[in-house]
């Protein structure tokens, strides 16, 4: 019988710690439902003590999402563990996840304690969590740079105290695959009770080794992998879930390993996370990047036409890609539109479908032929807008050359339906628009990055605008898509401001240091 490798998804916790990637409450719930459809074993839904909003999101996910185990992270202190338990206790399957450093660098420089004190703190925390919950996971933070002897002792003691999962993190993405494989093998060799718990790994990608390290760990006895959709996470991110799942499916199957993930849901999940986090996926990203199955050179194209096996080790369909040579026009009809969206992984109904249809007709009017990439851009944009409390209702921009004075008027509407109109003059049309929007929203911020990318070729292409703004030392990414780059720019700014407003409402405390 195949050996199951559990997939622990931490997109909503470690992933959400990526700079600029914060999510609103409904966005977190939507992603959690999609993760359940994807078939992950565990969802780490957040860090309940970090903010009331995070607590509420974890609690709602625990109450609504069936199938996976729901967990939340806490430091090895009672108030964090209480918060995790309160948030996850109503889940069908639940777990408390505790983190405490194990490397001397962290113990001395961050915690300013001794090894013995940290060990005792960990034992007390596990025993405390055990009073609430049967499933307790313990993560010795920065294990990748720790003294192995002290790590083995820690693992031994935490399992004795009741931990059911030991998750060994390479917090700084420092180790090499061979070293990591050996360390995991040594855990089984030198920790007498290692087989009484599930050994898991959590690898960061600072040197680009996160997936390779996770796979090396599986080959040496780990039975659970922590990872994120699109590999997002602190700094350079975590191991990418889609790459791990496909590596296990394509290569580790021969060694008798499998996951419970439905690989045909990977592209859709990647797209949802990328859209809601406003975090584009690089085109050459394995499995889910736009070029992952694109063959450019003549030799390759010829080879693929003769037999795909010549250059493809997996099919686009098995990871959820659909053929992309179909175009829709305004005469295609709503049914064909909905069907195409479903093929692209967007399941929309009711008002969401109505809105997307209206938007499609608008673009089809201007563009005549609407391909999959256009559809993806405009529907993703609609999905983003659907979650926004403040919406752009109208914008009027004037500019002239030479000697023009760019001006913009905007009308925004808030969640209570209240309309607000403002105008401004700027150095250019985008500047004028952003100034007018700022007058309405009134949230101090600084634009630090602005990029426009056309989705397809041609003068009538849909443009994706991605911006980054800074507010109170936090970064927020905004995205907008339209055939008019000025409107896309306005949408992107409103998107980013919505995120700032949502995070202020959430009274988002910074994640406690070291996590």
Contact residues for ligand KIV (CB under 6 A)? 14, 73, 99, 139, 141, 167, 169, 171, 202, 204, 515
| CA distances for 106 relative to 109, 120, 143, 301, 456, angstroms | 5, 16, 10, 52, 48
Place of tokens 């992952």: 292
- Minimum Å distance from CB 206 to Zn ion? 11
- Minimum Å distance from CB 97 to ligand KIV? 7
The backbone torsions φ and ψ at residue 237, rounded to the nearest 5 degrees and listed phi first, read 95, -175
Q: How far apart are CA 409 and CA 429, in angstroms?
A: 10
- Minimum Å distance from CB 210 to ligand KIV? 11
The backbone torsions φ and ψ at residue 122, rounded to the nearest 5 degrees and listed phi first, read -65, -45
**Which one of ligand KIV, Zn ion, none is in contact with 139 (Cβ closer than 5 to 8 A by kind)?**
ligand KIV
Query: Which one, of 54, 48, 53, 55, lies nearest residue 73 by Cα?
Result: 48
Query: CB-wise, 74 or 345, nearer to ligand KIV?
Result: 74
Query: Which one, of 460, 498, 274, lies nearest residue 380 by Cα?
Result: 274
Residues in the interface with Zn ion (CB under 5 A) total 1
Please give the residues from 10 up to 39 whose contact with Zn ion meets the rule CB under 5 A: 14
* Cβ atoms of residues 61 and 43 within 8 Å: yes
- Minimum Å distance from CB 258 to ligand KIV? 24
Query: CB-wise, 174 or 293, nearer to Zn ion?
Result: 174
Q: How far apart are CA 422 and CA 177, in angstroms?
A: 56
- Minimum Å distance from CB 123 to ligand KIV? 18
**Which one of ligand KIV, Zn ion, none is in contact with 499 (Cβ closer than 5 to 8 A by kind)?**
none
- Minimum Å distance from CB 261 to Zn ion? 20
Alpha helices in 288-368 (DSSP H): 298-306, 334-343, 350-367
Query: Which one, of 445, 436, 426, lies nearest residue 490 by Cα?
Result: 436
**Which one of Zn ion, ligand KIV, none is in contact with 99 (Cβ closer than 5 to 8 A by kind)?**
ligand KIV
- Minimum Å distance from CB 142 to ligand KIV? 6
Query: CB-wise, 80 or 372, nearer to Zn ion?
Result: 80
**Which one of Zn ion, ligand KIV, none is in contact with 22 (Cβ closer than 5 to 8 A by kind)?**
none
Query: CB-wise, 14 or 381, nearer to Zn ion?
Result: 14
- Minimum Å distance from CB 73 to ligand KIV? 6
* Cβ atoms of residues 505 and 53 within 8 Å: yes
- Minimum Å distance from CB 233 to ligand KIV? 8
Query: CB-wise, 27 or 141, nearer to ligand KIV?
Result: 141
Q: What is the crossing angle of helices 372-386 and 266-277, to 10°?
A: 50
Q: How many residues does the chain have?
A: 515
Query: CB-wise, 168 or 441, nearer to ligand KIV?
Result: 168
Please give the residues from 281 up to 320 whose contact with Zn ion meets the rule CB under 5 A: none
Instruction: Please give the helix or strand (H or E) that residue 187 lies within, else none.
Output: helix 177-190
Tokens of 31: 């992603």
Region binding Zn ion by CB under 5 A among candidate stretches 6-14, 52-60, 191-199, 398-406: 6-14
Instruction: Please give the helix or strand (H or E) that residue 121 lies within, else none.
Output: helix 115-132
**Which one of ligand KIV, Zn ion, none is in contact with 515 (Cβ closer than 5 to 8 A by kind)?**
ligand KIV
Query: CB-wise, 103 or 247, nearer to ligand KIV?
Result: 103
Query: Which one, of 26, 33, 45, 46, lies nearest residue 384 by Cα?
Result: 26
Query: CB-wise, 12 or 488, nearer to Zn ion?
Result: 12
Tokens of 349: 């109904």
Query: CB-wise, 14 or 135, nearer to Zn ion?
Result: 14
The backbone torsions φ and ψ at residue 278, rounded to the nearest 5 degrees and listed phi first, read 55, 40
Q: Which residues bind Zn ion (CB under 5 A)?
A: 14
């Amino acid at each position: 019988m195949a050996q199951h490798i559990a997939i622990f998804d931490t997109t909503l916790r470690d992933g959400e710690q990526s700079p600029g990637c914060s999510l609103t409450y409904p966005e977190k719930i939507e992603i959690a439902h999609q993760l359940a459809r994807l078939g992950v074993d565990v969802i780490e839904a957040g860090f309940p003590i970090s903010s009331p909003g995070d607590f509420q999101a974890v609690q709602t996910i625990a109450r609504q999402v069936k199938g996976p185990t729901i967990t939340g992270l806490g430091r090895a202190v009672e108030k964090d563990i209480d918060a995790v338990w309160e948030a996850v206790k109503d889940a069908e399957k639940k777990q408390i996840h505790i983190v405490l450093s194990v490397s001397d660098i962290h113990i001395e420089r961050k915690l300013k304690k001794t090894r013995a004190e940290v060990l005792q703190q960990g034992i007390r925390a596990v025993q405390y969590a055990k009073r609430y919950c049967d499933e307790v996971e313990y993560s010795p933070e920065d294990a990748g740079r720790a003294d192995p002897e002290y790590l083995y002792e820690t693992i031994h003691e935490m399992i004795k105290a009741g931990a059911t999962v030991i998750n060994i993190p390479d917090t700084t993405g420092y180790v090499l695959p061979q070293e990591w494989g050996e360390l995991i093998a040594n855990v089984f060799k030198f920790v007498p009770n290692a087989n009484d718990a599930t050994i898991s790994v959590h690898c960061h990608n600072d040197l680009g080794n996160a997936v390779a390290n996770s796979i090396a760990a599986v080959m040496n006895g780990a039975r659970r992998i922590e990872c994120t959709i699109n590999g997002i996470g602190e700094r350079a991110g975590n191991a990418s879930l889609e790459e791990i799942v496909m590596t296990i499916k394509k290569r580790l199957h021969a060694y008798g390993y499998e996951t419970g993930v439905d690989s045909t849901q990977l592209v859709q999940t990647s797209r949802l996370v990328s859209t809601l986090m406003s975090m584009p996926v690089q085109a050459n990203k394995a499995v889910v990047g736009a070029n992952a199955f694109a063959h450019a050179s003549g030799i390759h194209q010829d080879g693929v036409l003769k037999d795909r096996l010549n250059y493809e080790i997996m099919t686009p369909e098995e990871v959820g890609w659909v053929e992309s040579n179909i175009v829709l026009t305004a005469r295609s009809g709503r049914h064909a539109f909905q069907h195409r969206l479903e093929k692209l992984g967007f399941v929309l109904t009711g008002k969401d479908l109505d809105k997307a249809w209206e938007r499609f007709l608008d673009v089809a009017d201007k563009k005549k032929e609407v391909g999959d990439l256009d559809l993806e851009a405009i529907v993703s944009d609609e999905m983003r807008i659907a979650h926004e409390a403040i919406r752009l209702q109208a914008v009027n921009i004037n500019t002239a050359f030479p000697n023009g004075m760019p001006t913009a008027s905007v009308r925004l509407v808030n969640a209570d339906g209240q309309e607000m109109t403002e105008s401004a003059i700027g150095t250019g049309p985008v500047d004028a628009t952003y100034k007018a929007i700022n007058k309405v929203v009134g949230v101090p911020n600084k634009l630090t990055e602005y990029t426009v990318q056309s989705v397809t070729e041609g003068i009538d292409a849909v443009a994706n605008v991605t911006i980054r703004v800074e507010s109170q030392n936090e970064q927020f990414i905004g995205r907008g898509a339209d055939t008019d780059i000025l409107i896309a720019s306005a949408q992107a700014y409103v998107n980013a401001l919505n995120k700032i407003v949502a995070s202020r409402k959430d009274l988002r405390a910074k994640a406690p240091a070291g996590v």
